[in-house]
Amino acid sequence: MGTPAAAVPSLAALVEAGHEIAAVWTQPDRKAGRGKRLTAPPVKVYAEEKGIPVYQPPKIKNEETAREFAAHDADAAVVVAYGKILPRAFLEAYPHGCINVHFSLLPRYRGAAPVNWAVVNGEEMTGVTTMKMDEGLDTGDILLQKKTPIADDETADHLTGRLAHLGAGLIVETLSRIDKIKPLKQEESKASYAPLMKKEDGRIDWFSDAADIERRVRGFQPFPRSYTSSPYGRLTIWKCRPVVDHTSKVEPGTVLKAEEGKLAVACGEGTAVLIEEIQQEGKRKMSVEEFLNGAAIKAGDVLGR
């Protein structure tokens, strides 16, 4: 049970390990892209290539769907970013229940966006957890965990890809040892949450210090992205680096420099960011050097007003 590209490595690993995949359950096809074309989830695409039956019920909280799920008569269900909360009938359908691959070191970062918030919050270490699912939000017993450091310049998008492959190996190991693993209760006192991000989360607050803004730029990729208003329309910041700037005493958001291939913007607490990749509304992403060659932006302009 999975939907996005990050779930494909686990499915592929299970196939390659020789497990019999009774079925794949995924979200319904959605309209995507500028043309709003109906697009199949990446997990469906892979499953169909391998000849695995695919189920895409729009709703799962009904008796008919629960019976259909139980009829697969599987040993276990593996769940990776499926996108729906499973009712008890699903959790109890198979002897080994539903085993989730979660992209954090539980009980840290329960919820829908653990990778993004780990980057935004400046965590140095993260990992993946396999967990026996219960009816709570990522509260089930821990089976196995594997750690990995977060690089200083790593985006949430890149980290998700790494964790997807780490999780693929971990779910294969979990299933191979399923009868020997002693499930571990989560420590509620150490729990934290990673809620689904909203579009407004991406709006840059220039009064924050530069390091916080830089982490948000990396953490809010590919959604909601870090953006700001400007005299020249909305700008999306894709890459920047923080610098100390105690010389300027201007309003945060003020452009300090916009020449010689450098775009510096004042932030809070005597800091600034040097923007390295940027995208003007309606245009493609580009290097700041290329942007400055064609943009009218200048020192003294204020972003975010």
Q: What does the pLDDT look like over 249-297, one tens digit per residue? A: 899 999 999 999 999 999 999 999 999 999 999 999 999 999 999 888 9
Please indicate, yes or no, whether residues 184 and 70 belong to a single structural domain of this protein. Answer: yes
Q: What does the pLDDT look like over 28-79, one tens digit per residue? A: 999 887 778 899 999 999 999 999 999 999 999 999 999 999 999 999 999 9
Q: What dihedral angle (degrees, nearest 10) is formed by the CA atoms of 240, 243, 245, 246?
A: 140
Please indicate, yes or no, whether residues 167 and 240 belong to a single structural domain of this protein. Answer: no
Structure confidence at residue 244 (pLDDT): 84
Last residue of a domain, one of 158, 190, 222: 190
In a domain, 203, yes or no: yes
Residue 255's nearest CA partner among 280, 215, 226, 228 is 228
- Which range (16-20, 84-88, 213-217, 293-297) has the least confidence? 293-297
**Domain membership of residue 225 as a residue range:** 199-294
CATH number for position 48: 3.40.50.170
In a domain, 212, yes or no: yes
> What is the total count of domains within the chain?
2
CB atoms within 10 A of CB 170: 22
Amino acid identity, residue 206?
A: W
> Is residue 72 within 8 Å of 98, Cβ to Cβ?
no
Please indicate, yes or no, whether residues 20 and 160 belong to a single structural domain of this protein. Answer: yes
CATH number for position 204: 3.10.25.10
For the whole model, what pTM was predicted? 0.94
Overall average pLDDT of the 18-25 stretch: 98
d(CA 110, CA 118): 11
**Confidence band, pLDDT 50/70/90 cuts, at residue 1:** very high
d(CA 244, CA 251): 15
